[in-house]
Structure 1
Amino acid sequence: MTDFWSDVDRHVVRYGGAFTPEIIARAEGSHVYTEDGRRILDFTSGQMSAILGHAHPEIVATVRRQVGELDHLFSGMLSRPVVDLSRRLAESLAAAQDAIEEDPAGGPDGGQAPGEQARLDKVLLLTTGAESNEAAVRMAKLVTGGHEIVSFARSWHGMTQAAAGATYSAGRRGYGPPAPGNFAIPVPNPYRPDFTTPDGALDWRRQLDYAFELFDAQSVGAPAACLVEPILSSGGVIEPPPGYLAALRRKCRERGMLLILDEAQTGLCRTGTWYAFQRDGVVPDIITLSKTLGAGLPLAAVVTTAAIEQRAHERGFLFYTTHVSDPLPAAVGNTVLDILERDALDQRAAKLGDQLRRGLLELKDRHAVVGDVRGRGLLQGLELTDGDDARAGADRLGAEVTRRCLALGLHMNVVQLPGMGGTFRIAPPLTSSDEEIERGLAILDEALTGATA
């Protein structure tokens, strides 16, 4: 044990936040197991990715079979797993779009009219979320001829160049100037409203109008895309109010910008529907998928329309990487889709999400330090407060609750950014049992009691 942590200190680069003070030996289902035999309930699905839990038997079988048949190819070669996954992702998005057109979101800022948005049926398979956002931004710039990218001020889209340029929640200081043309707009956060109605609620329409007035004032006339998460995850599990994404899409249309939705953490059933954009009735021009697509393995996708892909191809779109269209992760992606479809895990996530949310709201009633509960499906956020100001930050309290949860056998992920350390991202696997959800809630309850005693 001593040698392990000594080797960590001597040889492992620290890449953000503190390492969890446990040596993890294996993982199975909803749990990870330490070298000293402790079982820890995983309420973060690994890095918000293992939607089928750890070591799912069918995923394990696919990896074992595929690695012995066809694992990696020259980047210009194609295989059946890659083409099959591309087709199936397009079909799942078509089904989501059909559901929207049958029952569009209501209200003046509601869903799209039938046929307004072309099908998302062209797929590029990559490895990570950052890489998929990089490719999407690169494609948008080439297709529109612009270079200006708009994102939320608490966004997280990745650590590569264009993705990092559109990331505002952390990592901007000390690395020199990002590529020109990146703009931040305020986050529509109902719990911490900046623009308010007379009754104190968030006035997101006025906020959005003001945001784009500022963008227009600074723009050099070269808008390319707006890249946003339908639910900000690292930014604190903040869900834009109904109607917001439709209004944002209109702002994009008025300026000739493409709308890119980053569904790294919300796509593929986690929020109770196959894609988070279904709630808002807003189909993007480009969608990026990653974490949930590989269920813990490195697999990502960019999906766009045939017209956008054709224009990009005509203009020489280049995103030739070492692991583009690799057959091994693509085979895993096909198995992920098999399980999601067969086991109706969108419905399972909605049911478990309701159970989890009810439990979190009960904790809010019992613990004065719980200021807000928010989220959708099995992506829930719980924000702690500290002191008399119900909206003050609670970094130290969040760290203490996290420590106590781990000691009691629950891994919780607090947002590890200054001023946001009192916000938990809670994302158990979609395969969790009712009992595991209740046990996690009970441990969190005990940790909150101990931390505030």
Structure 2
Amino acid sequence: MAPVQERTLSPRSFERHLLHYGRDFLNELIVRAEGSYLYTEEGRAILDFSSGQMCATIGHNHPKILEAMAKAGQTVIHLDSTMLSPDVIDLANRLCELLPQQLSKVQLLNTGGEANEAALRLAKIATGRFEIIGMAGSWHGTTTGAASTTYAHGRKKYGPVMPGSLAIPSPNCYRCPIRHCADRCDMACLDVGFEMIDATSVGEEAAVIVEPIQSAGGIIVPPQGYLGRLREHCDHRGILLIFDEAQTGLGRVGELFGFEREGVAPDILTLSKTLGGGLPLSAVIASDAVAEAARENGYSHYTSHASDPFTATVGLAVVEVILGEKLTERAAVIGQYLKDRLRELQHRHEAIGDVRGRGLLLGVEIVADRVTKEPGHELIKALSARCFELGLNINRVGGPHSVWRLAPPLTVSQDEVDQAIDIMDQALKEIPPTTQP
């Protein structure tokens, strides 16, 4: 047996044993998190405007989350997937109370990709068909089925996707995908998209899966009426509609769910990031009709941690904090304040081409040239790095990753918003568009 060696940790030690799974790791180690802040090993405080991986919805290490974890740790952590704890049933009931009546059957899982995988399997087995229609710029996960409907990035060099994977254009009003709309979107991209589906489908369409607001695709907000027309296209063809609310659900966009603004309910809903408060918890919620048809046809989607009691207890706490602290309403108010401050920056800095989003899910598109809308690929990298040096963490998203995604915890204060704006303002002053190669 090898002798136990003293553990030494340096900022670059991850290069020895950690597998790279995307972008490069940051050089500073995070040793503590609380509220809207991360704290490095060197004692630096970093304002986190990405809520971790979009999961710390109610702030890092919220006291109610810690309390729920302590409670769950003293009772039951894990069970066989056929065994249920009271909190699993209570969370399913609580979610259904918040949703349209037809969404009434819940399966608790772990990640967003896993929930979307379950949603796709439900749609296929309930309808007996296999084609899945996604949307350009979408992100639904990296498991095989979810990855096949993900079009934001990460599709190259992995071989064939699932048979029957189709796509419609993204309703990107800043960069119209069909070069049609100027000042006002008439949703021609949606109609053209379904004309292409009709031309290319083999007649086995099971479902459409979309995000009410595309997040990884660049914070793309569909125009008012879009989801309603999408529902009409689905109903006309007998296709199920799936809403992936991993990032829009449970208050982030200023409504409890992203689909509420248009009053359009899906046949299947998935929740994840915003549900677990930083722990891995997701849910797929289906209508009675879909659930019954799937059960009759033999639906099976076991996972090692389906209906885990530990995370269900935490999920209940998250929901109660969101409702009890009125964080949905707060997201609408603070989100509008943040959006107004971002538009002030846009007036001062040519690098900001567009500001968009709802509630506390906002996007700032960085451009090298505001007239031509040339994406600021290298510029946003430099700006993001400078913001981090100054104490602000923000993600880069969008096809060319030229959009800042601002998604702070719903508990973020106005003072913290002002601090973030000051940091972005300083970075934009120091690194103008003319510095892009």
The two structures share one fold, judged by TM-score above 0.5: yes
Q: Equivalent residue for 1:299?
A: 281
Work out which of the residue numbers 79, 85, 107 in structure 2 matches 1:73: 79
Cα offset for 1:203? 4.2
Q: Distance in 2 between matches of 1:54 and 1:425?
A: 18
1:176 aligns to 2:159 (yes or no): yes
Q: Equivalent residue for 2:346?
A: 364
Tell me which stretches of 4 or more aligned residues in structure 1 moved more than 4 Å.
none
* Contiguous gaps of at least 5 residues in structure 2: 1-6
1:262-318 per-residue CA deviation (whole Å, 9 max, x = no partner) reads: 000000000011001011211111100000000111000001111211111111110
Work out which of the residue numbers 189, 192, 207 in structure 1 matches 2:172: 189
| SS of structure 1 residue aligned to 2:153 | coil
1:373-417 per-residue CA deviation (whole Å, 9 max, x = no partner) reads: 0000000000011036441111111001101101111011112x6
| SS of structure 2 residue aligned to 1:304 | strand
Q: TM-score scaled to structure 2, two decimals?
A: 0.95
8 Å contact 2:105–2:286 — kept in the other structure?
yes
The share of aligned pairs that are identical, in percent, is 48
Distance change (3 Å), C-alpha of 1:6 and 1:33 = closer
1:122 aligns to 2:105 (yes or no): yes
8 Å contact 1:385–1:393 — kept in the other structure?
yes
Q: Distance in 1 between matches of 2:107 and 2:334?
A: 32
Work out which of the residue numbers 373, 391, 411 in structure 2 matches 1:431: 411
Q: What code does the residue aligned with 2:59 have?
A: G
Q: Distance in 1 between matches of 2:257 and 2:12?
A: 44
1:53 aligns to 2:59 (yes or no): yes
8 Å contact 1:195–1:204 — kept in the other structure?
no
Q: What code does the residue aligned with 2:171 have?
A: P
Cα offset for 1:202? 5.3
Q: Equivalent residue for 2:189?
A: 207
8 Å contact 2:11–2:28 — kept in the other structure?
no
8 Å contact 1:144–1:256 — kept in the other structure?
no
Q: Distance in 1 between matches of 2:29 and 2:260?
A: 40
Q: What code does the residue aligned with 2:416 have?
A: E
| SS of structure 1 residue aligned to 2:162 | coil
1:329 aligns to 2:335 (yes or no): no
Once the two structures are superposed, the pairs formed by residues 36-435 of structure 1 within 5 Å of their partners are 36-94=42-100, 119-195=102-178, 200-201=182-183, 203-387=185-369, 389-415=371-397, 420-435=400-415
Q: Equivalent residue for 1:107?
A: none
Q: Distance in 1 between matches of 2:342 and 2:428?
A: 12
1:313-367 per-residue CA deviation (whole Å, 9 max, x = no partner) reads: 1111101111000000000010011111111111110011011000000000010
Q: What code does the residue aligned with 2:177 have?
A: D
Cα offset for 1:192? 0.6
Cα offset for 1:255? 1.3
Q: What code does the residue aligned with 1:175 have?
A: Y
Cα offset for 1:76? 0.4
Q: Equivalent residue for 1:24?
A: 30
* Contiguous gaps of at least 5 residues in structure 1: 95-117
Q: Distance in 2 between matches of 1:205 and 1:3?
A: 54
Q: Distance in 1 between matches of 2:184 and 2:16?
A: 49
Distance change (3 Å), C-alpha of 1:11 and 1:157 = same
Q: Equivalent residue for 2:3?
A: none
Cα offset for 1:201? 3.3
Q: Equivalent residue for 1:447?
A: 427
8 Å contact 1:371–1:390 — kept in the other structure?
no
Q: What code does the residue aligned with 1:139 have?
A: L
Q: Distance in 1 between matches of 2:26 and 2:200?
A: 42
Q: Distance in 2 between matches of 1:86 and 1:143?
A: 21
Q: TM-score scaled to structure 1, two decimals?
A: 0.92
* Count, aligned residues: 427
Cα offset for 1:195? 3.5
Cα offset for 1:7? 2.8
Q: Distance in 2 between matches of 1:54 and 1:194?
A: 38
Distance change (3 Å), C-alpha of 1:360 and 1:289 = same
Q: Distance in 1 between matches of 2:155 and 2:332?
A: 36
1:30-77 per-residue CA deviation (whole Å, 9 max, x = no partner) reads: 000000000000000000111111110110011012112111001100
Q: Equivalent residue for 2:40?
A: 34
